[in-house]
Amino acid sequence: MKVKAYIATERQVGAVEKRRCEFQFGGKPYPVTEKFLVYHDTRWGKPLHDDRELFAMLILEGMQAGVSWNLILEKEDNFRRAFDGFDPAIVAMYDEAKVESLMQDAGIIRNRRKVTAAISNAQAFLQVQEEFGSFDAYIWSFTDGQVVDHRLKDGDPMPAKDELSERVSKDLKKRGFKFVGPVIIYSYLQGIGVINDHSVTCEYR
């Protein structure tokens, strides 16, 4: 989610107003859907340590290239069904017949390069697990297990990438991962909670 965050409020039925981030992209308001708000409130910026979910988010972020995150969230359940719950051990074994089946699935993004990248990324993911014991241990090692909290204030620009995402991207590419450029990886690190870019006044941070 590559957005600029600042203060906003939400009026909830039967509840007090809660402050949350408001979203802009390229200086313009970002269209917020119900699923987007649920993602922001319950997942974005929250530390994630489950390997299957770390793999799921890596694939979903790669699928986002060239499209909106709203579209990815709208299709997320379809992606999870089509890709066997994002089990990397299963995805790594997909053959050409499975690729063709996925290319006929209207519920997902039918981009052959992204589909085949998911397979090669699953294979690379398994190699990382073997080397480090878990992908969780690997990805959190870049910050020594600590959350990078930028503590953004009203009007502060949100980076599209930074030194950390450049470093992680470079290492992932070296290991054979695809669709892992520094901008995608910055968004990924936000999504799995390595980076917390909630506004300091957001009550969902």
29 domain residue, yes or no: yes
> pLDDT (tens digit, 9 = 90+) per residue, 57-69?
999 999 999 899 9
For this structure, is 39 an active site residue?
yes
As for how many domains the chain has, the answer is 1
Environment class of 156 (CB within 10 Å of its CB; exposed 0-12, middle 13-18, buried 19+): middle
| Domain-embedded: residue 129 | yes
Catalytic residue flag (residue 204): no
Domain assignment present for 131: yes
In a domain? residue 192:
yes
Active-site hit among 6, 22, 39, 94: 39
Strand partners, 148: 195
Percent of the chain that is helix, strand, coil (3-state, to 5): 50, 10, 40
Q: Per the domain annotation, does 203 fall within a domain?
A: no
**What pTM was computed for the model?**
0.90
Residue 201 lies in a domain: no
The CATH number of the domain holding residue 183 is 1.10.340.30
- Tell whether 178 is covered by a domain: yes
- 61 as an active site residue: the answer is yes
Of these residues, 6, 22, 44, 61, which one is catalytic? 61
pLDDT digit string (tens) for 149-183?
Answer: 999 887 777 888 999 999 999 999 999 999 999 99
Alpha-carbon distance values, 60 to 27, 80, 149, 175 (Å): 25, 10, 23, 19
With vertex at residue 181, the alpha carbon angle to CA 190 and CA 106, rounded to the nearest 5 degrees, is 80
Q: Which of 6, 69, 138, 188 is catalytic?
A: 69
Domain that holds residue 186: 4-196
